[in-house]
Amino acid sequence: MCGIVGYIGHKNAYPILIKGLKRLEYRGYDSAGVALISEEGNLNVYKAKGKVADLEAHCQEKDITGYAGIAHTRWATHGEPSSANAHPHYSASGRLALIHNGIIENYLTLKENLISRGFTFKSDTDTEVLVQLIEHIMLSNSLPLLEAVQVALHQVIGAYAIAILDREHPDTVICARQSSPLVVGLGSDNEFYLASDTSPIAEYTDKVVFLNEGDIAVLQLGKKLQVVNMDNVKQHPKVKQIDVTLGQLEKGGYPYFMLKEIFEQPDCLRNCMRGRINVDADRITLSAVIDYRKRLIEARRFIIVACGTSWHAGLIGKQLIENLCRIPVEVEYASEFRYCNPVIYPDDVVIAISQSGETADTLAAINLAHEAGAFVFGICNAIGASIPRQTQTGVYIHVGPEIGVASTKAFTGQVTVLSMLALCLAAERKTISAEQYKQMVSELTKVPEKMEEALKINKQIEKLAPIFTYAKNCLYLGRGYNYPVALEGALKLKEISYIHAEGYPAAEMKHGPIALIDSEMPVFVIATRDKLYEKVISNIQEVRARGGRVTALVTKGDEQIRKLADHVIELPDTLECFQPLVASIPLQLLAYHIAVCKGKDVDRPRNLAKSVTVE
């Protein structure tokens, strides 16, 4: 939540900052702002309520140049979305400007203290408190800015990634992180970039430093990157090479990132399996399983912690691991897990699933697992993010940057990694036969082709979508492996079209939700041919008997359900456990087209942000 960009070098910072904000807009888009030090030595701040385009329009007539600048796109926590609450915030004298991603939990205490000393505030934000505090410490103790930042951060409780400009030192940007991500890019020409993730930096350099917890970095022209901690102890940052192409960061002709990412899925899954599945030998090799074989196969229990879509992938992971490996698995919302005093044994394996690798609740759940002595395994997409760095081992899903706020390719990537993990462990534990293993591995490699076939129904779904735009409520039903698919389909619809939707296990319907069914209520049923097929047909009959309107996702060639449902969407057949990978596609497309019909901003749904770095 909130995106941070910074630049210091010999180019005009403004266009770099605006472009960077656009790349980070998925993290928040209720207001935006930039601060630059002009050639005359003025520290100018420009802010606007709304999206980055509104900030650009606000700045259009102005001649904005500067070689040091910071910028921010906001997802409101403290204070409504407004120009006053937008970042950067000035210090009392106007000498400093600061941007912040995170939450200063004790900001009220700090604010009251400053008010008692005569300070006044122009915004309702916790961020303004921090910049005033830093300046107050700096001026009242005659400290250099770096030291004042260190003293101030010792007083702060909460999460932050911050960047500060000082009018008196136009050759320097100071930044710091604690529980919110920050990456420094090392440019070729004595210049530094700074951002919440690598997407605004990748265009200029492939050399980055992912700041660690508690790091404070000084980006000074003509000097090497200097990193210290809050106690001024020198840190030794590792420079990493990133591999992000511009094509991955742009829409490539699609109207929205979400549609691009839906269509990318077959190739994403190929990338996810590349080097891990040996097609000739029908064998899966995951280095995490080789390195930690004993710890994993002898686990007393797996606990999956995740949020949102990643939690849905976890529910599929539970079925895969329990069915194939006979290891008990619990799936927990990270946000609940962290506060429910969970029983965690040292011989448990905790699997943290996260696209961004920065979700605050999932990170907190990981900390809890570490404290209990459990082994922690990460499944992430964003390379170098906090979760992969705070887990003992893990597997990247390698689906490339996911920019649409509604997660699509990350979900199928996560399910693919969980499938490979379950198969690897099943082979090690000998809980499935060699033949079964071979057949399943081979089928998994065919899933991308089947997804390509499923994507061909895009036009059919586009035509179908308008009839659902009137709906106030929708029900998604599925059983077994398809139950999490129903949950995920409902979440996609809710988040981008704002239609209320519920996912339910089909048989649970008669324990309550059946009361909602009438001719106004579209019911989407995932009814592919699997061991519960006949039972799902009975569930469809129950909906029909109450006047419900059924759209069924069926296995290609299914004539039985065609006679019962109002609409059918045919899917290529695959093994039951891989069906979620194929069945998710029409539900993603359906949510997408319904939202487009309703005129919604698919990539930037209201109130949401891609990366939930606050709890």
**Which token pair is 39?**
């050639």
E strand intervals along 429-545: 473-478, 500-505, 522-527
Written as one string, the DSSP assignment of 314-375 is HHHHHHHHHHHH---EEEEEHHHHTTS-----TTEEEEEEESSS--HHHHHHHHHHHHTT-E
Sole window of 77-85, 274-282, 303-311, 562-570 interacting with ligand M6R (rule: CB under 6 A):
303-311
Candidate residues 150, 309, 482, 613; the one interacting with ligand M6R per rule CB under 6 A: 309
> In this chain, which stretch among 71-79, 290-298, 351-359, 415-423 interacts with ligand M6R, using CB under 6 A?
351-359
Q: Is 307 in the site for ligand M6R (CB under 6 A)?
A: yes
Residue 76 CA to residue 1 CA, distance in Å, equals 8
Give how far Cα 161 sits from Cα of 61, 196, 234, Å.
Answer: 31, 8, 19
- DSSP letters along 7-74, please? EESSS-HHHHHHHHHHHHGGG--SEEEEEEE-TTS-EEEEEEES-HHHHHHHHTTS----SEEEEEEE
Instruction: Say whether 474 is catalytic.
Output: no
CB 193 to ligand M6R: min, Å: 23
Cis preceding linkage at 88, omega within 30: yes
- Which of 132, 178, 198, 354 binds ligand M6R (CB under 6 A)? It is 354
Question: Is 612 among the residues that bind ligand M6R (CB under 6 A)?
Answer: yes
User: With binding defined as CB under 6 A, does residue 407 bind ligand M6R?
Assistant: yes
Using rule CB under 6 A, residue 614 touches ligand M6R: no
**Binding segment (CB under 6 A) for ligand M6R, from list 37-45, 256-264, 402-410, 507-515:** 402-410
In the complex, minimum distance from the CB of residue 26 to ligand M6R, in angstroms, rounded to a whole number: 10
**Strand ranges inside 167-300, DSSP E:** 172-178, 183-186, 192-195, 207-210, 216-220, 226-228, 240-241, 277-278, 283-284
Smaller CB separation from ligand M6R, 7 or 257: 257
Q: For ligand M6R, which residue of 69, 308, 480, 586 counts as binding (CB under 6 A)?
A: 308
Q: Give residue 4's identity as a one-letter amino acid code.
A: I
Contact 602, 406 (CB under 8 A): yes
Distances (CA, A) of 99 to 5, 12, 72, 149, 228: 9, 19, 6, 13, 20
Smallest separation (angstroms) from ligand M6R to the CB of 368 = 16
Site string for ligand M6R, 482-521 (x = CB under 6 A): ---------x---x--------------------------
Total interface residues for ligand M6R by CB under 6 A: 17
- We find the least distance from the C-beta atom of residue 186 to ligand M6R, in angstroms, to be 26
In the bound state with ligand M6R, the residue whose beta carbon lies nearer, of 33 and 308, is 308
- Helix locations, 482-547, DSSP H: 482-497, 533-545
Q: Does 378 bind ligand M6R (CB under 6 A)?
A: no
- Check residue 359 for interaction with ligand M6R (CB under 6 A): yes
When binding is defined by CB under 6 A, the residue of 131, 148, 406, 577 that contacts ligand M6R is 406
For residue 298, what are the CA distances in angstroms to 40, 320, 327, 347, 366?
A: 66, 17, 9, 8, 20
What mask, x for binding ligand M6R by CB under 6 A, covers residues 259 to 298?
----------------------------------------
Lookup: tokens for 464: 């179908």
Query: For residue 436, what are its two tokens?
Result: 């079964």
- Mention every residue, 6+ apart, whose C-beta is less than 8 A from residue 98: 70, 87, 88, 89, 91, 127, 130, 131, 134, 162, 163, 164, 165
> Residue 418, SS3?
helix
Binding mask 549-588 for ligand M6R (x = CB under 6 A): ----------------------------------------
* CB of 469 vs ligand M6R, minimal distance in Å: 20
Tell me whether residue 43 or residue 415 sits nearer to ligand M6R (CB atom).
415
Return the range that interacts with ligand M6R (CB under 6 A); candidates 116-124, 173-181, 473-481, 605-613. 605-613
Supply the minimum distance, in Å, between the C-beta of residue 102 and ligand M6R: 16
Indicate the residue type of 495: E
Judged by CB under 6 A, the residue of 179, 199, 205, 310 near ligand M6R is 310
Q: Are 317 and 418 in contact (CB under 8 A)?
A: yes
Residue 416 makes contact with ligand M6R by CB under 6 A: no
Q: Are strands 96-104 and 158-166 parallel, antiparallel or unpaired?
A: antiparallel
Does 390 interact with ligand M6R (rule: CB under 6 A)?
A: no
Point out the residue whose Cβ comes nearest to ligand M6R: 308
Q: How far apart are CB 334 and ligand M6R at their closest, in Å?
A: 8
Mark the segment that binds ligand M6R (CB under 6 A) among 116-124, 147-155, 277-285, 400-408.
400-408
> In the complex with ligand M6R, which residue's Cβ is closer, 219 or 491?
491
Under the criterion CB under 6 A, does residue 355 sit at the interface with ligand M6R?
Answer: yes
d(CA 442, CA 278): 10
Q: Which residue stretch of 135-143, 295-303, 304-312, 479-487 sits at the interface with ligand M6R (rule: CB under 6 A)?
A: 304-312
Site map for ligand M6R, 429-458, x if CB under 6 A?
A: ------------------------------
> Which among 21-29, 336-344, 405-413, 521-529 is the span making contact with ligand M6R, rule CB under 6 A?
405-413
Distance between CA 301 and CA 343 in Å, rounded? 11
Q: What is the DSSP string of 69-120?
A: EEEEEE--SSS-SSTTTSSPEE-TTSSEEEEEEEEETTHHHHHHHHHHTT--
* Strands 348-354 and 301-306, bridge-based pairing: parallel
Summarize as ranges the residues that interact with ligand M6R (CB under 6 A).
307-310, 354-356, 359, 362, 405-407, 491, 495, 608, 611-612
- Catalytically active residues are 2, 610
